[in-house]
Amino acid sequence: MTESSSRPAPGFSAGATLADVGEFGLIAALTGRFEQGDQVYVGPGDDAAVIRAPKGHVVVSTDVLVENRHFRRDWADAVDIGRRAAAANLSDINAMGGTATALTVGLAAPSELPAQWALDLADGIAAEAGKVGASVVGGDLTQAREVVVAITVLGACEVAPVLRSGAHAGEVLAIAGRQGWAAAGLAVLARGFRSPRALVEAYRRPEPPYSAGLAAARAGATAMIDVSDGLLADVGHIAGDSGVAIDVSRGAFELADPMHAVGSALGVDPMQFVLGGGDDHAIVATFPAGTTLPEGFHAIGSVAAGEGVTVDGGAYDGPRGHAHF
């Protein structure tokens, strides 16, 4: 697991569990973890938070992470799990061309869970939210057999939100952010290994390109999505919602040495991590032909009349992405 700088809560004894500190003791400790930005009119402590809404559109998204399905406590520490949970939500706002402003967090956990783990989780969420200037403004706590983290994020769009449904034939498909690293790191962890470290860290602590969504919207992106479940699966949402066909080019991706190393060790084509992997939260968007792509984007495919997603002009029978059911 990665190293973390845990901040103990005042009055908590070392090793105290959630049962020891109680619901309201934990709420008081958690609230002190979250700094409130200028956009917050009423923060934690009332029946509901109140956020100042700028002119334009308010965007909302929710994600739920369940222990042993979306994360494992023996694979990542609480700070990193908090960062991953927040990143998944913040990236959804990014994919609309918006900027996140506020988050609420629901935490369900066993009563024997160390209270410090919950505080470290809060620190991770707050640190990731701080990257975009968002504040954690409230949430809820309850008991459960396993840890469940549910986050709702609010954001604002200064330009019209970019939907999945706006792509047209003749346009260019482009991506910003690294892709396939988190999937390769997950494959490493699933085999009981901890290296290459760069890939494991990419899974534990993704680095979404938070400035890419707004940049794409300003540049005239016609459709956009973040890669959370898998590149081909998520590009498929754009294709399906827009009523077009999209072809992805393998040659548009340069595989880093650690990806080749994992592919060789596992006996798989490392390109499957790129094409079928998620959790890096890269941003994929379509742009009209001739558009000067925003900084950080590069072309990876094309849009045509038809339906479905192909790779290099043909069918692809490898993994396309994560299936939740």
Domain definitions of the chain by residue range: 18-157, 172-311
Beta-bridge partners for 224: 285
What is the spatial distance between Cα 169 and Cα 288, in angstroms, rounded to a whole number? 9
The tens place of each residue's pLDDT in the chain, 325 residues long, gives 444 456 766 667 778 888 888 877 787 777 777 788 888 877 776 656 677 777 778 889 999 999 999 999 999 999 999 999 999 999 999 999 999 999 999 999 999 999 999 999 999 999 999 999 999 999 999 999 999 999 999 999 888 899 999 999 999 999 999 999 999 999 999 999 999 999 999 999 999 999 999 999 999 999 999 999 999 999 999 999 999 999 999 999 999 999 999 999 999 999 999 999 999 999 999 999 999 999 999 999 999 999 999 999 999 998 898 776 6
Q: How many residues does the chain have?
A: 325
CATH architecture of 172-311: Alpha-Beta Complex (3.90)
| Cα–Cα distance, 325 to 235 (Å, whole number) | 19
pLDDT at 48: 63
Task: Give the per-residue pLDDT at 47.
Answer: 59
Helix (H, G, I), strand (E, B) or coil at 288: coil
Q: How far is CA 231 from CA 6, 226, 322, in A?
A: 35, 9, 10
Q: What angle, rounded to 10 degrees, do the helices at 181-190 and 257-266 form?
A: 40
pLDDT of residue 324: 66
156 neighbors 53 (Cβ within 8 angstroms): yes
> d(Cα 89, Cα 269) in Å, to the nearest integer?
30
Helix (H, G, I), strand (E, B) or coil at 64: strand
Q: How many Cβ atoms from other residues are within 10 Å of residue 220's Cβ?
A: 14
β partners of residue 226: 283
> What is residue 3's predicted lDDT score, i.e. its pLDDT?
45
- Taking residue 188's Cβ as centre, other Cβ atoms within 10 Å add up to 23
Q: Residue 174: beta bridge partners?
A: 285, 299
pTM of the model: 0.86
In the CATH scheme, what architecture does the domain 18-157 have? 2-Layer Sandwich (3.30)
Q: Omega into 10 within 30° of 0, i.e. cis? A: no
Report which residue type is found at 188: V
What tokens were used for 27? Answer: 């709420």
What pLDDT score does 15 carry?
Answer: 82
